[in-house]
Amino acid sequence: MVFSQETFNLEKGSNQKSKAKYDKAKNHVLNCIKNKSFGFIEDLYSKNYNEIFSTVNKLKKFDNVIFLGTGGSSLGGKTLVSLVTNFFLNISKPKIYFIENVDSSSILGLLKNINLDRTACVVISKSGETIETISQFFLILNQFEKKKISIKKKFFVITEDKESSLKDIQEEKKLYFLNHPDSIGGRFSVFSVVGLLPASLVNFNIKKFCSGAKDFLSEIEHGKKFDYFFLPIFNLIKLYEKGVNMSIIMPYSDSLQNLSFWYRQLWAESIGKDGKGITPINSLGTVDQHSQLQLYLDGPRDKFFTIIGERKRKKGAKIDCRYSKNKTYTNLHKKSLDTLLEAEMMATIQTIKNKNLPIRVLILKSLNEKQMGSLMMFFFIETIFSCFLLDLNPFDQPAVEEGKKLTKELLKKRK
């Protein structure tokens, strides 16, 4: 099995009407998987890694690589990179930076502290019209120009191969171009060049990652394991109809913190429509045991919990907790921080269970590429399945379009 899932305090039974809804959504998903109707699945099974590896070889000649993008253009790649790089340090070669916001002080602060002559930029926007990404590009371009540094062979553009502002810039400036598949939306792009390029740059095995995704699809596509993986989310939808409208995702690993941000966007943009939706809230164990868990456990009973852990976590060095000749902090003495992390995760799970709150526990064999590929594909299918249960389109985001239009109108009025 690709990873294990265990649930507690979830309603198990269903009436004929809800079973019919479940079967309809299930068959829809399975047919789409079988026919490769989802763009990210079609791309997964027709992948050519040569362009990615060729681009990685070009990028590895630099000391720094800056990825420009926001939302789905950034979060997937950032998640994969964080599985390899240290949580606190940026010591990869080349060093990798993700610029996601349009706060000039942060961006300029970075540019002042790196050698632009030894820096490459990868600009990512599916539509080629993302104003935040284009603004990041021009700010950085201006800094290169001020220092009279050529951007030739230093800038790479990932966008759809069609007319757009970014494509026009790429052609005019003669920048490297990589095609963003037009059938894949940003939040579903982690298995495309968008996620795989930065991952491969830190020697994350992208072939194993994609293989893990295929393994998961193989487990469910004939329907045998579908119920094991997706009955819990069906039961969550039933709880949603009774007022459970928040979903807490809480991994117990620093390396998975970015996964929770990635999941938050995937779920929120897909399911929050037509007055419907379950609000995703990302937490991190053990940190948020000291900031949010009190509310989760003793506040309104409107939350569903997903805890993510690792079965074969490597145990670090044991701690010597003697602090004087005759005194020892016995709770931790000769135990590792990883042992403490595991104990705290199990204690949190048990406390949630004791409070009779709905919870599921996802346990990975280890944080390797295949396991992550399976887990992220699982979240893709789960999100789509949930949208089908609620009669929603998982692939659009109509509400945010208004804000984009208003932003451009306001810009016209400002100097």
CATH of the domain at 165: 3.40.50.10490
Residue 149 DSSP code: -
Same domain, 347 and 216: yes
> Could you confirm whether 290 is annotated as catalytic?
yes
- State the catalytic residue, choosing from 152, 242, 404, 408: 404
Alpha helices in 157-298 (DSSP H): 165-173, 193-201, 206-220, 226-240, 257-271, 293-298
**Which of 180, 204, 228 is at the close of a domain?**
204
What percentage of the chain reaches a pLDDT higher than 90? 87
> Could you confirm whether 310 is annotated as catalytic?
no
3-class state of residue 247 by DSSP:
strand
Max distance between CA atoms of the chain, in angstroms, equals 75
Is beta strand 359-364 parallel, antiparallel or unpaired with respect to 4-8? antiparallel
Q: Which residue has the tokens 């016209």?
A: 412
262 in a domain, yes or no? yes
> Could you confirm whether 171 is annotated as catalytic?
no
What is the pLDDT at residue 84? 92
What is the pLDDT at residue 395? 95
- pLDDT surpasses 80 at 415: no
Run of H or E residues at 381: helix 369-389
- pTM equals 0.95
Q: Which residue has the tokens 């590429």?
A: 369
Amino acid at residue number 230: F
Give yes or no for a contact between 247 and 304, defined as CB atoms under 8 angstroms apart: yes
- State the catalytic residue, choosing from 132, 269, 369, 382: 269
- pLDDT surpasses 80 at 401: no
Length of the chain: 415
What is the pLDDT at residue 323? 94
Per-chain mean pLDDT for the chain: 94
Structural domain including 195 reads: 42-204
- State the catalytic residue, choosing from 12, 146, 290, 413: 290
Contacts of 28 (CB under 8 A, 6+ apart): 388
Same domain, 219 and 360: yes
What is the pLDDT at residue 404? 82
Express each pLDDT in 184-194 by its tens digit: 999 999 999 99
Same domain, 81 and 223: no
Same domain, 103 and 177: yes
- pLDDT surpasses 90 at 406: no
Tally of structural domains, the chain: 2
Q: Which residue has the tokens 């079988």?
A: 34
Give yes or no for a contact between 267 and 383, defined as CB atoms under 8 angstroms apart: yes
What is the pLDDT at residue 12? 66
Same domain, 134 and 99: yes
- Residue range 200-206: mean pLDDT, rounded: 97
Express each pLDDT in 65-114 by its tens digit: 999 999 999 999 999 999 998 878 888 899 999 999 999 999 999 999 99
Same domain, 313 and 377: yes
Lowest-pLDDT range, 14-18, 140-144, 264-268, 309-313?
A: 14-18
347 in a domain, yes or no? yes
Cα separation, 414 vs 410, in Å, equals 7
Express each pLDDT in 234-256 by its tens digit: 999 999 989 999 999 999 999 99
> How many CB atoms within 10 Å of residue 222?
11
129 in a domain, yes or no? yes
Give yes or no for a contact between 309 and 252, defined as CB atoms under 8 angstroms apart: yes
Lowest-pLDDT range, 56-65, 318-327, 368-377, 404-413?
A: 404-413
What percentage of the chain reaches a pLDDT higher than 70? 99
Same domain, 237 and 383: yes
Same domain, 330 and 250: yes
Handedness of CA 193, 195, 200, 205 (dihedral sign): negative
412 in a domain, yes or no? no
361 in a domain, yes or no? yes
Give yes or no for a contact between 384 and 270, defined as CB atoms under 8 angstroms apart: yes
Same domain, 238 and 157: no
- pLDDT surpasses 80 at 284: yes
410 in a domain, yes or no? no
Same domain, 331 and 195: no
Give yes or no for a contact between 280 and 379, defined as CB atoms under 8 angstroms apart: no
184 in a domain, yes or no? yes
What is the pLDDT at residue 13? 62
pLDDT bucket at 278, cuts 50 / 70 / 90: very high
Give yes or no for a contact between 72 and 193, defined as CB atoms under 8 angstroms apart: no
The phi, psi pair for 359, rounded to 5°, reads -150, 145
Cα separation, 199 vs 189, in Å, equals 13
401 in a domain, yes or no? no
What is the pLDDT at residue 14? 67
Single out the residue of 97, 198, 93 nearest to residue 140, CA to CA. 97
Give yes or no for a contact between 156 and 122, defined as CB atoms under 8 angstroms apart: yes
- Residue range 368-376: mean pLDDT, rounded: 97
Same domain, 231 and 92: no
pLDDT, greater one: 89 or 151: 151
**Which of 204, 235, 257 is at the close of a domain?**
204
Cα separation, 158 vs 122, in Å, equals 7
What is the pLDDT at residue 314? 74
- pLDDT surpasses 80 at 315: no
Same domain, 47 and 20: no
What is the pLDDT at residue 183? 94
**Which of 204, 222, 256 is at the close of a domain?**
204
